[in-house]
Structure 1
Amino acid sequence: MSSLRAKIQDVFNEPACEQNRGKDAKARKEGCSKPLTPGTAAGGCAFDGAKIVLQPITDVAHLIHAPLACEGNSWDNRGAASSGPTLWRTSFTTDLTELDVVMGRGERKLFKAIREIKEAYGPPAIFVYPTCVTALIGDDIEAVCKRAAEKFGLPVVPVNAPGFVGSKNLGNKLAGEALLEHVIGTVEPDDAGPYDINILGEFNLSGEFWLVKPLLDRLGIRVRACIPGDARYFDIACAHRARAAMMVCSTALINLARKMERRWDIPFFEGSFYGITDTSEALRQISQLLVKKGSDPEILGRTEALIAEEEAIAWKKLAAYRPRLEGKRVLLNTGGVKSWSVVHALMEIGIEIVGTSVKKSTVEDKERIKQILKDDNHIFEQMAPRELYAMLSEHKADIMLSGGRTQFIALKAKTPWLDINQERQHPYAGYDGMVELVRQIDLAIHNPIWRQVREPAPWDCQPAVREELPSTKSETATLHVVQEFAGTTTDDFGGC
């Protein structure tokens, strides 16, 4: 536990973070994440965060040393995609029981599980994750992994990030520390080249990195390692021979980028592949970093030619959607890099941003949003469900982009909604991804179902029956059926 404590303290002291550099020593020790409330997951624990970062490494066996529920609640927690191996989709757990805990059989059970995985699947490596239970009872995960690696002749990597140590974001960083300590730099490639780069913090959600990689291939740039999206163990082990790196989600792996720069002189920058302008700028910065590291300057010209060609194609496709979407109002309830990159992307085609969440964004992310929106009134740290519902039901937004947890607020308010978080079904990165995002927004807003669900129910617009008394005694009493819609017309109810 003392080594884990030291790792956590090192992660909190992050020199690459401008906000962290401005803190005093006491504030720096508290880290950036909000303290957890006992008994709550606070949006995900450290174990969950570590699993998110490492599970997309597709050819590795991920073994959870814990009771069954820990793996059951975290398995397949992101919509990452693989172009080959499927071992990462298989769930492995030691399934500790109360008897195992009482009798102290956890370490033996872990060693046996590692042996069974090695014999049955023969993976290039096994990642072992302790959780709250196994950390609290004192199982020495690192010792077991070291012994198993010597015995079975394959890397067995301890990922020391039990849930109780902190938030999901802390778990992301501890996963990066595990890669630095046990994986990166352990294999020397025989094909290192001057155009090799790393992409850090890219998860290949719905396969969206596959929309970006062909652009790099056309420039002759090879992705040595994409960490973690669609990654292979060997690629990550050789990642220290890349010439440059791009950081996509700084809140997750900024410590990994900084330490790789310090150890192996791999410069990095933070960028985004969401939106036409940001994709073009990312390609430019990658080329510029490679030139600074000794690559042929002619790549700069090829990059500009590619950007001009791809932007022309994308803007031509988007032109068909501009008349339908220009002036439409979007509420963005997400966070992190999407809080500013998607904002910029949508504003490029004339969509108005009425609000964006910065709950999981860094200080740098928030500054970018302010520069883009020019108005702090559209930025909110966190909006309660009641406030979200009020905003949508009052038609202050034409559509909400968010994760699956808030979709029912939009649906209850009878407002179009589009999933933009990790559970999404469509890729939105790169030039083609931007066109797809706009297409999905157009389909959602103009779906005829919204006009139908906003109409009153049939029983709310039935004609009223009123009995009219005769005006004179000599007149015969009659019943007249009249429609009474206090101050309204039938057009107000869709003609009902």
Structure 2
Amino acid sequence: MSSLRAKIQDVFNEPACEQNRGKDAKARKKGCSKPLAPGAAAGGCAFDGAKILLQPITDVAQLIHAPLACEGNSWDNRGAASSGPTLWRTSFTTDLTELDVVMGQGERKLFKAIREIKEAYGPPAIFVYPTCVTALIGDDIEAVCKRAAEKFGLPVVPINAPGFVGSKNLGNKLAGEALLDHVIGAAEPDDAGPYDINILGEFNLSGEFWLVKPLLDRLGIRVRACIPGDARYLDIACAHRARAAMMVCSTALINLARKMEQRWDIPFFEGSFYGITDTSEALRQISQLLVKKGADPEILGRTEALIAEEEAIAWKKLAAYRPRLEGKRVLLNTGGVKSWSVVHALMEIGIEIVGTSVKKSTVEDKERIKQILKDDNHMFEQMAARELYAMLSECKADIMLSGGRTQFIALKAKTPWLDINQERQHPYAGYDGMVELVRQIDLAIHNPIWRQVREPAPWDCQPAVRQELPRTKSETATLHVVQELAGTTAGNFGEC
């Protein structure tokens, strides 16, 4: 536990974080969030963050050393996609019981589980995660992993991020530290070149990185490692030979990017592949970093030619949507890099942003939003469900973009909604991804179902009086009396 404490303290003292540098020594020790109590960390703990970050490494076996309930649904983890191996979709757990804890059988059970995975699946590596229970009872995960690696001849990596040590974001960073300590630099590539780069913090949600990689391929730029989206263990082990890096999500892996620059002289920048302008700028910065590291300057010209070609195609496709969407109001209830990158992307086609959440955004993310929106009146840290409902029901937004947790607020307010978070079914990165995002927004806003659900329900309307059969004088006189009492005429009696 002493090594874990030192690792956490190192993460809290992150020099590449501007917000952290602005704190005094006492505030810096507390980190960015309060430590979580054991048993109160479900859904947002350090273990959850570590596993979320590392699970998209597709050929690695992820072993959870814990009671069965600590393992979640691996098949639907964040919507990341793989172009090959599916081992990452399989759940492995030691299924620790009360008897194992009392009898001190945890470490032996862990060693046995590692052996079974090796024999049944033969993965290139196994990642082992302790959780609150196994960390509190003192199982020596690192010693077991070291012994298993020697015995079975494959890397067995301890991911020391039990849930109670902190938030999901802290778990992201501890997972990055584990990659630095045990994986990156563990192998040497035989084909390193001047156009190799790393992409950090890209999860390949719904396969959206596959919309960006062909652009890099056309420029002759090779992605040595995309961490973690659609990655292989060997890719990450050789990531230290890249010439430059792009960081997509700074809140998750800024420590990894900084330390790789210190150890292996890999310069990095933070960028986004959401929106036409940001995608073009990201391609430019990648090319510029490669040239600074020794690549042929002619790549700069090829990059500008590619950008001009792709932008022209994308704007031509978007022209059909501009008249239908220009002036439409969007409420963006998400966070992190999407809080500014998607804002910029939507404003490019004339959509108005009435609000954007910055709950999981860094100080740098918030500054970008201020620059894009020209003020901070449209930023909110967190909005309660009743406030979201009031805003939507009062028609202050034409559509809400958010995650699945708040979709029912929009549906209750009879407002169009589009999934923008990790569970989404459509890729939105790159030039083609921007066109797809706009297409989905157009489909959602102009779906005829919204006109129907906003109409009064049939049971709220009185049945109309029909005049199909001839009436007698007595029936006609009675009808006139009823109409006079109701204050209606025969033309509108009973209509809704």
Normalising by structure 2, what TM-score?
0.95
1:240 is matched with 240
Relative to 1, partners in 2 of residues 1:409 and 1:164: Cα closer, same or farther, differing over 3 Å? same
For 1:492 and 1:450, the matched residues in 2 are separated by: 27
CA positional deviation for 1:275: 0.2
CA positional deviation for 1:400: 0.3
For 2:378 and 2:465, the matched residues in 1 are separated by: 49
Report which stretch shifted further, 278-287 or 70-79: 70-79
In the alignment, is the contact (CA less than 8 A) between 2:279 and 2:431 conserved in 1? Answer: yes
CA positional deviation for 1:486: 11
Relative to 1, partners in 2 of residues 1:396 and 1:16: Cα closer, same or farther, differing over 3 Å? same
Cα deviations across residues 112-170 of structure 1 (Å, max 9, x unaligned)?
Answer: 00000000110000000111111011100000000000000000000000001000000
1:115-130 equivalences in 2 (<5 Å): 115-130=115-130
Give 3-state SS (helix, strand or coil) of 1:23's partner. coil
Cα deviations across residues 271-325 of structure 1 (Å, max 9, x unaligned)?
Answer: 0000000000000000000000011000000000000000000000000000000
In the alignment, is the contact (CA less than 8 A) between 1:36 and 1:42 conserved in 2? Answer: no
In the alignment, is the contact (CA less than 8 A) between 1:456 and 1:493 conserved in 2? Answer: no
CA positional deviation for 1:329: 0.3
Cα deviations across residues 201-232 of structure 1 (Å, max 9, x unaligned)?
Answer: 00000000000000000000000000000000
In the alignment, is the contact (CA less than 8 A) between 1:461 and 1:493 conserved in 2? Answer: no
Report which stretch shifted further, 461-470 or 215-224: 461-470
For 2:484 and 2:314, the matched residues in 1 are separated by: 53
Give 3-state SS (helix, strand or coil) of 1:169's partner. helix
Relative to 1, partners in 2 of residues 1:471 and 1:226: Cα closer, same or farther, differing over 3 Å? closer
Give 3-state SS (helix, strand or coil) of 1:418's partner. strand
In the alignment, is the contact (CA less than 8 A) between 2:57 and 2:228 conserved in 1? Answer: yes
In the alignment, is the contact (CA less than 8 A) between 2:50 and 2:168 conserved in 1? Answer: yes
In the alignment, is the contact (CA less than 8 A) between 1:393 and 1:414 conserved in 2? Answer: yes
In the alignment, is the contact (CA less than 8 A) between 2:462 and 2:495 conserved in 1? Answer: no
CA positional deviation for 1:72: 2.8
1:79 is matched with 79
Relative to 1, partners in 2 of residues 1:478 and 1:242: Cα closer, same or farther, differing over 3 Å? same
In the alignment, is the contact (CA less than 8 A) between 1:47 and 1:163 conserved in 2? Answer: yes
Relative to 1, partners in 2 of residues 1:379 and 1:180: Cα closer, same or farther, differing over 3 Å? same
Structure 1: 5+ residue stretches without partners: none
In the alignment, is the contact (CA less than 8 A) between 1:81 and 1:205 conserved in 2? Answer: yes
Relative to 1, partners in 2 of residues 1:53 and 1:467: Cα closer, same or farther, differing over 3 Å? same
CA positional deviation for 1:200: 0.1
Cα deviations across residues 439-477 of structure 1 (Å, max 9, x unaligned)?
Answer: 000000000111111111111121589999999999995
For 2:394 and 2:179, the matched residues in 1 are separated by: 48
Q: Does 1:193 align with 2:193?
A: yes
For 1:376 and 1:124, the matched residues in 2 are separated by: 48
Report which stretch shifted further, 381-390 or 75-84: 75-84
Cα deviations across residues 309-356 of structure 1 (Å, max 9, x unaligned)?
Answer: 000000000000000000000000000000000000000000000000
Relative to 1, partners in 2 of residues 1:67 and 1:301: Cα closer, same or farther, differing over 3 Å? same
RMSD (Å), alpha carbons: 3.4
Structure 2: 5+ residue stretches without partners: none
1:172 is matched with 172
Report which stretch shifted further, 127-136 or 64-73: 64-73
Relative to 1, partners in 2 of residues 1:186 and 1:452: Cα closer, same or farther, differing over 3 Å? same
CA positional deviation for 1:40: 3.6
Relative to 1, partners in 2 of residues 1:494 and 1:117: Cα closer, same or farther, differing over 3 Å? farther
Relative to 1, partners in 2 of residues 1:488 and 1:327: Cα closer, same or farther, differing over 3 Å? farther
CA positional deviation for 1:487: 12
In the alignment, is the contact (CA less than 8 A) between 1:469 and 1:477 conserved in 2? Answer: no
Relative to 1, partners in 2 of residues 1:494 and 1:34: Cα closer, same or farther, differing over 3 Å? farther
Give 3-state SS (helix, strand or coil) of 2:197's partner. strand
Relative to 1, partners in 2 of residues 1:461 and 1:299: Cα closer, same or farther, differing over 3 Å? same
1:130-169 equivalences in 2 (<5 Å): 130-169=130-169
CA positional deviation for 1:39: 4.9
Pairs aligned (count): 496
CA positional deviation for 1:377: 1.2
